[in-house]
Amino acid sequence: QQDVEQQTRFQPALSRDGQRIEVVANIGNPAEAAQAIHAGGEGVGLLRTEFLFLNRDRPPSEAEQYDALVQMTRALNGLPLIVRTLDIGGDKAVPYLEMAAEENPFLGIRGVRLCLERTDLFETQLRAILRAAQTGYIRLMFPMIATLEDLRAAKTVLESVRASLDAPPIEVGMMVEVPSAVLMAAEFAQEVDFFSVGTNDLTQYLLAMDRGHPTLAKQADALHPAILRAVYQTVQAATAAGKWVGVCGGLAGEPQGAVILAGLGVKELSVSIPSIPTIKAKIRGLKYKQMQRLAQKALKCRTAEEVRAL
Ligand code: PEP
Ligand code: MG
């Protein structure tokens, strides 16, 4: 079976009745962009740019960030690269940024909140992204958006940087990983080009279970019906506005999760590089109709265990 997955990894993930699901990669550096393509990835659904900021003693310069991004667009050769702006805070600390200690870092200055405080970092990153976007296909995505004000503030900074560079506009999406973003998805959908659901954080925040907790993390199962209902609500709101939804959390890379997510109407699954051939093969093995039926059953389940039993 693994042989078949490897041999077919460059073929698209078409269900048996012809529905295409894009299977793309989660990456953290330029070398992984090339590996993603080699594994059959159809682009990058999540570049975690924070990895470019770790294990060093100062932030990368605009030129360093630009060079890293251009290496990635070259490796992708026209396939899309979704660049997520800096998502530091929570469990990802960066000593040289000298952030104040917090009692609840996962509920603190994290992701886009840090960028809106440290506009020096944010503007440098946005300049690198907008310049690199002129060398290949880049879409931008903001992490940890909780309110429309966050999104609008981030887009305002983006627009001022874009205008100062006289760069063309690019597609802008947001992570859906905070419960308020699900509940307000219809409104958010009017102001972004796409959503990417972060099931890791969405599970943590919906179930109020720390994703890294030594004992709770096991119960924080992304196949819980609460999370599936949230994904479905997001898809419905996006579809009504003519926008698309991807998933870049860990659930997309689990074969059972991938099938249910596709059945809920998710169009793009962004997964770890080694999972790409498996997820593509899984989609090819089923009819979209079957995935939709399974997803509808899963939405009605009462527990994660019931969903897994399906
Ligand atoms: C997520 O929260 O699901 C996600 C993809 O982002 P990260 O794991 O980097 O927080
Ligand atoms: Mg996240």
Q: Where are the alpha helices (DSSP H) in 54-94?
A: 62-76
Return the residue whose CA atom lies nearest to atom 3 of ligand 1: 198
- Mean pLDDT (the chain) is 96
| Cα–Cα distance, 24 to 273 (Å, whole number) | 8
Kindly indicate the confidence band of residue 156, based on its pLDDT and cuts at 50, 70 and 90. very high
Per-residue pLDDT tens for 204-255?
999 999 988 999 888 899 999 999 999 999 999 999 999 999 999 999 999 9
pLDDT average, residue stretch 86-91: 90
Pocket of ligand 1 (CB under 6 A): 46, 48, 87, 177, 198-201, 248-249
> Which residue, among 298, 233, 226, has the nearest Cα to 259 in the 3D structure?
298
Residue 41 has pLDDT above 90, yes or no: yes
Kindly indicate the confidence band of residue 180, based on its pLDDT and cuts at 50, 70 and 90. very high
Instruction: Say what the pLDDT of residue 302 is.
Output: 98
Ligand nearest to the CA of residue 196, numbered in listed order: 1
Rounded distance from Cα 110 to ligand 2 centre (Å): 10
Share of the chain above pLDDT 90, in %: 93
Rounded distance from Cα 199 to ligand 1 centre (Å): 7
Ligand nearest to the CA of residue 144, numbered in listed order: 2
Return the residue whose CA atom lies nearest to atom 8 of ligand 1: 200
Instruction: Say what the pLDDT of residue 93 is.
Output: 79
> Which residue, among 131, 28, 41, 115, has the nearest Cα to 77 in the 3D structure?
41
Angle at 136 between CA 130 and CA 139, to 5 degrees: 55
Give the lowest-confidence range in 50-59, 94-103, 235-244. Answer: 94-103
Rounded distance from Cα 177 to ligand 2 centre (Å): 6
Joined tokens for residue 283: 């989609």
Return the residue whose CA atom lies nearest to atom 4 of ligand 1: 198
Per-residue pLDDT tens for 99-134?
889 999 999 999 999 999 999 999 999 999 999 999
Pocket perturbation via mutation, ligand 1, pick of 50, 141, 177, 245 by most ligand atoms within 8 A of CB: 177
Instruction: Say what the pLDDT of residue 1 is.
Output: 77
| Cα–Cα distance, 215 to 207 (Å, whole number) | 14
Instruction: Say what the pLDDT of residue 187 is.
Output: 98
Reported as type and span, the H/E element at residue 256 is helix 255-263
Longest Cα–Cα distance of the chain, Å, equals: 54
Q: Which atom of ligand 1 is nearest to the CA of 201?
A: 2
List of E strands, the chain: 13-14, 20-27, 44-48, 81-84, 138-142, 172-176, 194-197, 244-247, 268-271
Rounded distance from Cα 143 to ligand 2 centre (Å): 7
Return the residue whose CA atom lies nearest to atom 1 of ligand 1: 198
**Tokens 């205008």 belong to which residue?**
163
Ion ligand 2 — residues with CB under 5 Å?
A: 177, 198, 201
Cα distances from 224 to residues 45, 205, 289, 302, in angstroms, run 23, 13, 22, 8
Q: Which atom of ligand 1 is nearest to the CA of 196?
A: 5
| Cα–Cα distance, 175 to 197 (Å, whole number) | 6
Residue 282 has pLDDT above 90, yes or no: yes
Instruction: Say what the pLDDT of residue 2 is.
Output: 82
Instruction: Say what the pLDDT of residue 217 is.
Output: 82
Instruction: Say what the pLDDT of residue 63 is.
Output: 98
Rounded distance from Cα 205 to ligand 2 centre (Å): 10
Burial class (CB in 10 A: 0-12, 13-18, 19+), 63: exposed
Instruction: Say what the pLDDT of residue 74 is.
Output: 98
Share of the chain above pLDDT 70, in %: 100
Pocket perturbation via mutation, ligand 1, pick of 84, 201, 270 by most ligand atoms within 8 A of CB: 201
pLDDT average, residue stretch 73-80: 98
Neighbours of 28 (CB within 10 A): 15
Instruction: Say what the pLDDT of residue 7 is.
Output: 94
Q: What is the pTM of this model?
A: 0.97
Residue 65 has pLDDT above 80, yes or no: yes
> Which residue, among 111, 116, 118, 121, has the nearest Cα to 58 in the 3D structure?
121
* Residue 47 three-state SS: strand
Rounded distance from Cα 274 to ligand 2 centre (Å): 20
| Cα–Cα distance, 47 to 86 (Å, whole number) | 10
Q: pLDDT: is 2 or 264 the higher one? A: 264
- With a threshold of 0.85, tell me whether the complex ipTM lies above it: yes
Per-residue pLDDT tens for 11-35?
999 999 999 999 999 999 999 999 9
Count of helices and strands (H, E) across the chain: 14, 9
